[in-house]
Amino acid sequence: MSQLERFKSRLISERELQLATLQMTLSKEHDAEVRKLACNIFTMEADELDEVISKLELSYVSKFRKTLQAIDASLCQIEIGLYGFCADCEQAIEAELLKRDPTTQRCKRCNSLHHQHDTDNRRVLL
């Protein structure tokens, strides 16, 4: 199995785990519509699921949504041959970063610059 196939398998497994956890959590809600959504969660396409959960007014759902978006973006990048390339500079992302987090979108250098930019912006706002 190639490294790319291992990343894809890991991403798919993580997506299934996130969906199962979300399904279990939503099935405990008091709202019947939310429980109905929980029953259908595995049959929805990524875009449809994202749209539906974005409308839920449940504080914990945003974390699931963000994680699923990152996983789906990475799986899409695998399909079109762009996985593992930095979103900013388009250079290869270091393998150690992808092993740590297969949804990583930036190389070390660009990630550092991005975080520095965020830090600088927070200082200005304070």
- Per-residue pLDDT tens over the stretch 32-55: 999 999 999 999 999 999 999 999
Model confidence, pTM: 0.85
Q: Is the predicted pLDDT of residue 123 greater than 70, yes or no? A: no
CA proximity to 105, closest of 63, 76, 65: 76
Q: Which two tokens stand for residue 85?
A: 């390339």
Per-residue DSSP letter, 93:
P
